Amino acid sequence: MVDCSKTCLSAIDLTLWRGPNCLFEELSFQVDAGSLLLVRGTNGSGKTTLLRVLSGLTRPESGHVQWCGESIEKTRQAFTAALAYFGHADGLKADLTVTQNLEFSARLYGRSGEQVSGLLKALNLSQCAQLETRYLSAGQKRRTALARVLMSNATLWLLDEPVTNLDSVGRDYVEDRLREHIAGGGLAIAATHEDIRLASESPDEIFLGDDA
């Protein structure tokens, strides 16, 4: 059994089928504070679904997910307070401007307007801050969604393809923030088919799909 008075996310015997396909069976792993786990796999191998299961959005057929030793179903509020989910969809309102979208998140997380504009500058979004997000490029939308994760103060980051669509400057920025987050005792799980380079040792990986 997992001993967890410390901060950790553990998956215990997760099994999930989608139609006739078994996405994962009796999958168990644990992510401790200060570490990054990469979820690898081909397209359609269930990376996004695994992240959804870990976040509690989708229920696994069997097995469960524990946060600090407690099932996330029981500690939903404590768990969601510690969680930043960077999903497959950006979660942006197409009719609102970048600033309006982020102001909503800032209000939720208790951040000031200055912090928002600071983030926009860091993410190279200042020049499109007053544009409705429907007019942004895929990469700019990704950056805007990322700003929400960065202002969240969450301990656990669940990132679905965090560097896809980003240019090299954007990738470096994301990798830097990820490194800082982990060095500060945070946890991160990233589903990606691209390499994420952290300066230290290479992160743990799990593989989904037949060729694993």
Partner 1 sequence: MNLARFFAAIVRRELQIAFKRWGDLVSPLMFFVMVASLFPLALSPQHEMLRNLGPAVLWIAALLATLLSLNALFRADIEDGSMEQLVLSPYPLALALFGKTVAHWLLNGLPLVVLAPALAVTYYLPGEGVRALSLTLLIGTPTLSLLGAVGAALTAGVRQSGGLLALLVLPLMLPVLMFGARATDLAASGEQISGPVYLLSALFLLALSLLPLASAAAIRISLD
Site string for partner 1, 88-107 (x = CB under 8 A): xxxxxxxxx---x---x--x
Choose the binding region for partner 1 from 4-12, 54-62, 177-185, 189-197 (rule: CB under 8 A).
54-62
- Closest approach of Cβ 157 to partner 1, in Å? 12
How many helices (H) and strands (E) are present in the chain, helices listed first? 6, 9
Alpha helices in 11-110 (DSSP H): 47-55, 76-81, 98-109
Choosing from 1, 19, 43, 77, the residue that interacts with partner 1 (CB under 8 A) is: 77
In the complex, minimum distance from the CB of residue 199 to partner 1, in angstroms, rounded to a whole number: 30
Query: Residue 54 or residue 163: which is nearer to partner 1 going by CB?
Result: 54
Q: Count residues near partner 1 (CB under 8 A).
A: 28
- The residue within the footprint of partner 1, chosen from 7, 10, 55, 140 (CB under 8 A), is 55
How far apart, in Å, are the Cα atoms of 95 and each of 103, 104, 124, 126, 132? 14, 13, 21, 18, 6
Asked if 75 and 64 count as a contact pair (C-beta separation under 8 A), the reply is no
Euclidean distance between CA atoms 4 and 48, whole angstroms: 26
Q: Produce one character per residue of 43-52: b if its CB has 16 or more CB atoms within 10 Å, e if not.
A: eebbbbbbbb
Minimum CB separation from partner 1 for residue 172, in Å?
25
- 54 token code pair: 């870990």
User: Which of 15, 30, 42, 58 touches partner 1 (CB under 8 A)?
Assistant: 58
Q: Round to whole Å and give the CA distance between 147 and 133.
A: 14
Q: Is 83 in the site for partner 1 (CB under 8 A)?
A: yes
Which residues of the shown chain bind partner 1 in the complex (CB under 8 A)?
A: 55-59, 77, 80-81, 83, 85, 87-96, 100, 104, 107-110, 132, 148
